[in-house]
């Protein structure tokens, strides 16, 4: 089992590197014009420099370079290479606003590359099924974390909480590779979060959310448990409950409202809570609190006896369904579809 004194330096260096590099990435974003400007579908009212993802990725890579044992170098190189590809894609998207048709093939390529290195789910024992499931899982989680980057602190905070629970679970399973990588992600996310709390001075952009989502998806697969037992698969699902919930919420909302699932809009969980009159900080506390609660549920499930696993999973699934119903009620009650309500508000003034 990795010693605590191995984890603490990784957390510290990841945090410190991200803390130091974020102002540098902010200045670079201003010079290159990688700026997120205010828009009707966005919450911020002034232009924000992006490229915080560069600081996160460099901090993460530096930490792993300094602390990774030689036996893990090849595996970590594969993960960091996939994350680098997505960071580059994210930078181009932040600068040029790429269409989903251009982004999706690159994300699928990164996911397929991980499966080719042997990182894959093992639900059936057949590569014809498990490899496509791996690609789908990585692709979905990568996008799900990206979807959370709609409010200050949400994507970075969710990543930090998920990485923390992956670290604890992997530590209990004596998984040194997963523990080290999760610790590096946790420290790097926390360092950036200092600048990303509302009101934030820097955004991570797709350059940060895409590689972070990719790495979280890989960490979920690398946990060791009987993946053919369906209830055990709820462990990573609960750790990533908020991104999994939110991506399903907005996808089905847009389909029901006859809009493209790839279309951006103010229909995320955070937007629905904000529309009830809560501020951004209060909304963030609620959402990150949910992340922590489901992380605790995942931790309990990882240690539970076979007899206790079904009730724990039932509690988790039912609560998510009830949360989905509540979010649907908010959507209907507040009449949040994008066009008429928001145009009327603009016409009549604030």
Tens of pLDDT along 232-269? Answer: 889 999 999 999 999 999 999 999 988 888 887 888 99
Cis peptide before 107, with omega less than 30 degrees from 0? no
CB 90 within 8 A of CB 205: yes
Percentage of the residues of the chain whose pLDDT score is greater than 70: 89
Q: What is the pLDDT of residues 124-153, one digit of tens each?
A: 788 899 999 999 999 999 999 999 998 999
pLDDT for residue 227: 52
pTM of the full structure: 0.90
pLDDT(45) > 60: no
Burial class (CB in 10 A: 0-12, 13-18, 19+), 322: exposed
Label residue 325 by pLDDT band (50, 70, 90): very high
Q: What percent of the chain has pLDDT over 90?
A: 64
| 3-class secondary structure per residue, 308-322 | CHHHHHHHHHHHHHH
* Count of domains for the chain: 1
Q: Distance between CA 311 and CA 349 in Å, rounded? A: 51
The band of 228, judged by pLDDT with boundaries at 50, 70 and 90, is low
Per DSSP, the chain holds a count of helices (H) and strands (E) of 14, 2
What domain range is 36 assigned to? Answer: 4-348
Tokens 């040029």 -> residue: 96
Query: What pLDDT was estimated at residue 349?
Result: 36
């Amino acid at each position: 089992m990795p010693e605590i004194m191995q984890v603490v330096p990784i957390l510290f260096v990841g945090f410190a590197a991200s803390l130091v590099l974020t102002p540098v990435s902010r200045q670079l974003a201003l010079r290159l014009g990688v700026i997120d400007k205010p828009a009707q579908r966005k919450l911020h009212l002034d232009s924000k420099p992006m490229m915080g993802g560069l600081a996160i990725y460099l901090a993460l890579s530096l930490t792993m370079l300094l602390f990774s044992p030689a036996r893990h170098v090849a595996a970590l190189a594969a993960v960091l290479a996939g994350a680098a590809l997505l960071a580059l894609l994210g930078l181009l998207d932040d600068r040029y606003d790429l269409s989903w048709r251009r982004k999706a093939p690159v994300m699928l390529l990164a996911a397929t590359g991980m499966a080719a290195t042997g990182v894959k789910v093992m639900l059936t024992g057949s590569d014809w099924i498990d490899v496509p499931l791996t690609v789908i899982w990585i692709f979905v989680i990568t996008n799900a974390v990206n979807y959370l980057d709609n409010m200050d602190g949400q994507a970075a905070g969710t990543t930090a909480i998920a990485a923390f629970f992956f670290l604890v679970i992997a530590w209990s399973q004596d998984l040194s590779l997963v523990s080290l990588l999760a610790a590096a992600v946790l420290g790097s996310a926390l360092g950036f979060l200092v600048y990303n709390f509302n009101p934030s001075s820097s955004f991570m952009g797709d350059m940060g959310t895409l590689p972070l989502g990719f790495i979280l998806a890989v960490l979920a697969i690398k946990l060791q448990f009987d993946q053919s037992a369906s209830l055990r698969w709820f462990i990573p699902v609960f750790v990533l409950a908020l991104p999994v919930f939110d991506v399903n919420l907005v996808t089905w909302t847009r389909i029901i409202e006859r809009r493209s699932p790839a279309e951006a809009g103010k229909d995320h969980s955070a937007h629905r809570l904000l529309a009830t009159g809560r501020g951004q900080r209060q909304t963030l506390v609620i959402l990150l609190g949910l992340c922590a609660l489901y992380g605790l549920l995942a931790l309990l499930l990882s240690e539970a006896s076979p007899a206790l696993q079904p009730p724990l999973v039932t509690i988790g699934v039912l609560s998510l369904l009830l949360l989905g119903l509540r979010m649907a009620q908010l959507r209907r009650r507040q009449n949040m579809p994008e066009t008429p309500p928001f145009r009327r508000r603009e016409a009549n003034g604030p």
